[in-house]
Chains A and B, each alone.
Chain A
Amino acid sequence: MSSAERKILGGSFLMAMISVGLAVMVLSADDQNLKWDGSRVSPVHRIPLKDELNQEIIPTESYPLPFSARYTCAPCHVYEQVCQGLHFNATNSGRPAGRPGEPWIWADEKTGTMLPLSYRQWKGIWDPGDVGLTAWDFTLLFGTKLTGGGVAEPADKDVTPDSRWNVSGKLEINCLGCHNASRLQDPSEWAKQVLRQNFRWAATAAAGLGEVGGMASRLAATWDLFDGPNPDDKEWAIAPSVRYDPALFDSKHNAFLDIAYKPEDSRCLACHSVAPLGAKKHEFDGDVHTASGLLCVDCHRNGIGHDMVRGYEGESKDYGKAENEAFTCAGCHLGKEAVKGGRGFSGRLGAPFPKHNGFPMIHFERLSCTVCHSGPLPAKEPARVRTSRANRLGIFGIARWATDTPAIVEPVYIRGADKKLAPHRMMWPSYWAEMKNGKLVPLKPNRVLAAAGETLNAAESIARILISLFNIPDLGGTPVLVMAGRVYELNLDGVLDVSEYPGPVPADDLLWAVRKENKILPLLPFDPDAQEPNPDTLAQLERVLLALGAMPGAPGEPVLLYKNALYRIANGQLEKRENPVSSETLKLAWLIAGKAEPLFPDIARRAVLTLTGTDQTLTEEQVGTVLRALGKDHVYVSSGRVFGLSKKGKLEARNDPAAAPVSWPLAHDVRPARMALGTNGCTDCHSAGSRLLFGRVKGYGPLKTSQVEIRSLHSFMGLGKPYHVFFGLSFAVRPLLKVVLAAASLVIGALLLIAVLLAIGRASGLIEKRR
């Protein structure tokens, strides 16, 4: 071996040793990170904040970057390990999906799309990738309720060309979203920052560490963090920046973070709240475990890997973690079974031991605990509920964020993988779809909108006109539309609110008006008896036509048709012409190619009239029109039915598995034991009209139609109705059966006693002696 070869070998060996040494150091550091020293006290977190470049943040310098959890928390907590946690690992294909959970619901009211999505492979749920959503799209859609990390923090190799991660930054795991005990932690601020695409700033703003201004969504796609603020634009495309709260930092620029080892419930409930639709907050009881002082994380616990205990029966098998069984209902309330004659212990965390007196064992073999103990009591129809994630609850601001749709109902009792019945939440998916290779593939809403033109803009077409009427100088009130005895008015969100017309309904079917001090006055007060309109009215008309003409995207020239006159603006002045078609009522219209068209299309008028007072957003007429525009092989799914066009071009509904409802088990809120089913006896569930068995589930979707799927609850359980009606009826005579059995027992017992006494008497000779 030459000396050169020896040197190369020696160098390689040295490098290998150094590598091994470094690996050992890293691993041992990780081990240290994982080890608990035994103290039950959480350390005070007065620590330096670090930005995404792993540089310490000096809050007083100009344009400091937002803090990065990846680097700020890293010295003590291994970020990569946290990434494997339940809240961040949905895209980790190696992990079992486990029991179905609440999907993300892609809700687009205008197109009537309510599509359940999840990266976890649950039955009936669409994979976001399969419906054309990239990680960027997904984060934009659901980032307001995402915990960060996972799909919202894609690796550089997974970044798609349509995304703007370089502008927004990635949405890192929001550690403080759960662990910040400060009252300043604000999920609404997180949502706002995410909607502004200020992803890398969201955690800083939400934690109250500083004030974040600017909107990444308005910046050019080429903007980069190193570009810094734009000195030329201080009005619109303002680059996001943070101004830290100096009171939170000490002289060494260490920030005080009020970290809670166990997050309080409100942190969980920011994304996991569920409440009955229309319930009043002060009437709402919540979960009995919460009432007795437990935190969510007392049962749903995790280590540094953040692989949280979900707490359902069978979880230990799904995830291969036997220890998780201890945190099921049975785990705490029943405890471990006694082993080999030893004594088992129950009552973990003070859980009372359930006696279940008089309950046949079959209940425990075929029902999960939650059937009797969780969710609302069964009613004629399952209750509508809203969830944080589906219905955007808990985002507070001037605008109203929460929605009533998607319509989610509970409880619906369905068998799980363990064959036990469990109460579920349920929603009926609705989406536009194209038939491809015999399968329905959902369409993205923007494709539907592109094909639909103005068909789906019913309310918006009226709202646009009302908005333009707001621009009339000296209007002195709020412009409204009076239509079919109802008053349509814009609310703060630019959405139409509807109210009944006060007083006698005006003769005109459609009247543009102004609400002044609770009075509704015509926008154009023409006197029908006057030969000529008075000058004030004409001046008002001029202002109205000018305002309408200035409407963005106005389809034509605004005109007023009245009797034999046609009023228009010519050269900035009101001009009166002869109306070729006489109109007895005032008609504001668009003059398009010499033809007067209504201010908004008739289909919009019919849609608004049909849908007013409902939370549905589509009429059958609209669906038919859009399906014709989309072309053949397209359908719309809603309310458990698939709607398509017949050969004659008429809308028809059919049953299809693709329209089946989607459900996921519910575990909370748990009611107190005395409010469990069965407390009042067997007839809580077993009767001819049992609500638990025969409650009615009605398909519900954005389409207002009478063609909806209606099913009885027993059909979801796989039970036969005639038997259970008969079985329920048998409970009416069960008290009599008990009396019969008791009486028979007494008679037989008494006779047996006499027989035994006689036998003893005879055997002992007592009877003979007496004779």
Chain B
Amino acid sequence: MLFIIITVLAVLGLASTLTFFRFLSGKPAVDKRNLFALAGAHGEWLGGWIRTFFEPGFLIKVRAFYRTWVGQAYPGWRQWIFAALVVSFGYCAASGFFFALFVPGGMFGIPLLCHVMAGGLFALSLAASLILRAGAFRPGADDPKPEKCDFYPPLKDLTKKEILTTLFWMSAAAGLCLIVTALASMLSYFHYRAQMPLLDFHRYGALVDLLLVMIYLDLGVFPRRG
């Protein structure tokens, strides 16, 4: 139950925060001292933003954006590695959180089987992605065009590159946690009572990873209008 509460609060909280910062970065014409007006405007903006998902041509835009973005980061055959990472992480997160939040008995049956298989693919693709992209996210590497993150007020002293590098390695660490806990639960070295903490580590690792990916997407992938 605790996990459910934490997950719902964390995901909704982060999503609200990120969209709020994104809303503010558009410099809206609203009295920022009036909390209700600010919240109303944010809600209105959010509704408009969500409506764009259903506009004609949205999918074409997304595909075009994906090709451009992935083409830069994962050129050629490497895009398949990224696709595998996205698909496997997407399925694992969707199935894992759905069963954790809505099915009291936890995951079972075909979804569990697919979760395990997708987990294997996730591990491979994550390792390959790290090999390919570790150079681009080398800690402390020089940043020729430092860009301040002034749209993230709490992190406004850091550059975008620094934040993305941190997010990249933190999500790698969370991914490692997911893989290690899955592997450990399959090995006969751990007492059955260790299964519960392993499962907890796995779940909270997944939550952390999801939150990091949300921030990464907001900061590093989706362009800002403002």
Contact = CB atoms under 8 A, between A and B. Distances in A.
Do A and B interact with each other, yes or no?
yes
Interface string A68-110: 0000000000000000000000000000000000000000000
A745 B139 contact: no
A748 B130 contact: yes
Nearest to A762: B140
Contact of A730 (B116, B127, B180, B192): B116
Interface in B95-110: 105-106, 108-110
B218 to A, nearest CB: 22
A359 B192 contact: yes
Contacts of B117: 730, 737
Contact of B195 (A359, A681, A730): A359
A128 to B, nearest CB: 40
B108 A362 contact: yes
Contact of A734 (B108, B109, B130, B186): B186
Interface string A281-300: 00000000000000000000
Interface residues of B, number: 41
Contact of A361 (B131, B134, B195): B195
B127 A761 contact: no
Contact of A745 (B119, B134, B180): B180
Given A358-B190, A726-B113, A748 B169 contact: no
A357 interface: yes
A683 to B, nearest CB: 13
Contact of A752 (B113, B176, B196): B176
A356 interface: yes
A751 B131 contact: yes
Contacts of B24: none
Interface string A304-319: 0000000000000000
Interface in A718-771: 723, 726-727, 730, 734, 737-738, 740-745, 747-749, 751-752, 754-756, 758-759, 761-763, 767
A740 B172 contact: no
Interface string B179-218: 1101101111111100110010000000000000000000
Interface in B66-117: 105-106, 108-110, 113, 116-117
A723 B109 contact: yes
B224 interface: no
Contacts of B191: 355-357
Contacts of A357: 188-192
A743 B113 contact: no
Contacts of B189: 357-358
A737 B169 contact: no
Contacts of A751: 130-131, 134, 172
A360 interface: yes
Contacts of B120: 737, 740-741
Contacts of B130: 747-748, 751
B219 interface: no
A716 interface: no
Contacts of A745: 123, 176, 179-180, 183
Among B127, B137, B138, the most chain A Cβ lie within 10 Å of the Cβ of B127
B134 A740 contact: no
Contacts of B173: 752
A13 interface: no
B113 A740 contact: no
A737 B179 CA distance: 11
A745 B126 CA distance: 10
A358 B195 CA distance: 8
B123 A360 contact: no
Contact of B127 (A726, A747, A756): A747
Interface in B24-80: none
A364 interface: yes
A767 B138 CA distance: 13
Interface residues of A, number: 39
A365 B107 CA distance: 13
Contacts of B131: 747, 751
A358 B134 contact: no
A759 B188 CA distance: 36
Given A747-B131, A752-B173, A360 B188 contact: no
A730 B185 CA distance: 16
Given A360-B195, A361-B196, A730-B116, A748 B179 contact: yes
Contacts of A755: 134, 137-139, 169, 172
Among B110, B139, B172, the most chain A Cβ lie within 10 Å of the Cβ of B139
Nearest to A364: B192
B124 interface: yes
B192 A356 contact: yes
Interface string B152-182: 0000000000000000010011011001101
A129 to B, nearest CB: 41
A10 B192 CA distance: 74
A744 B126 contact: yes
A144 to B, nearest CB: 45
Nearest to A757: B139
A360 B138 CA distance: 38
A365 B105 CA distance: 9
Contacts of B119: 741
A759 B162 CA distance: 11
Contacts of B186: 358, 734, 737-738, 741
A732 to B, nearest CB: 13
A741 B182 CA distance: 8
Contact of B172 (A359, A365, A734, A752): A752
A752 B131 CA distance: 11
A372 to B, nearest CB: 12
Contacts of A358: 185-190, 192
Contacts of B185: 358, 360
A714 B186 CA distance: 24
A26 to B, nearest CB: 52
B113 A749 contact: no
Given A357-B191, A745-B183, A362 B106 contact: yes
A19 B106 CA distance: 64
Nearest to A419: B105
A748 B138 contact: no
B106 A744 contact: no
B159 to A, nearest CB: 14
A362 B138 CA distance: 42
B199 A361 contact: yes
B123 A740 contact: yes
Contacts of A749: 176
B140 A767 contact: yes
A738 B179 CA distance: 10
Given A361-B195, A741-B123, A759-B140, 13 more contacts: A357-B191, A358-B186, A360-B195, A361-B196, A365-B105, A726-B113, A745-B123, A745-B179, A752-B176, A755-B169, A756-B169, A759-B139, A767-B140
15 contacts: A356-B191, A357-B192, A358-B185, A361-B199, A362-B106, A723-B113, A738-B187, A741-B119, A741-B182, A751-B172, A752-B176, A754-B134, A755-B139, A755-B169, A758-B140
Interface of B: 105-106, 108-110, 113, 116-117, 119-120, 123-124, 126-127, 130-131, 134, 137-140, 169, 172-173, 175-176, 179-180, 182-183, 185-192, 195-196, 199
Closest 6 CB pairs of A and B: A762-B140, A358-B188, A356-B192, A744-B123, A759-B139, A741-B183
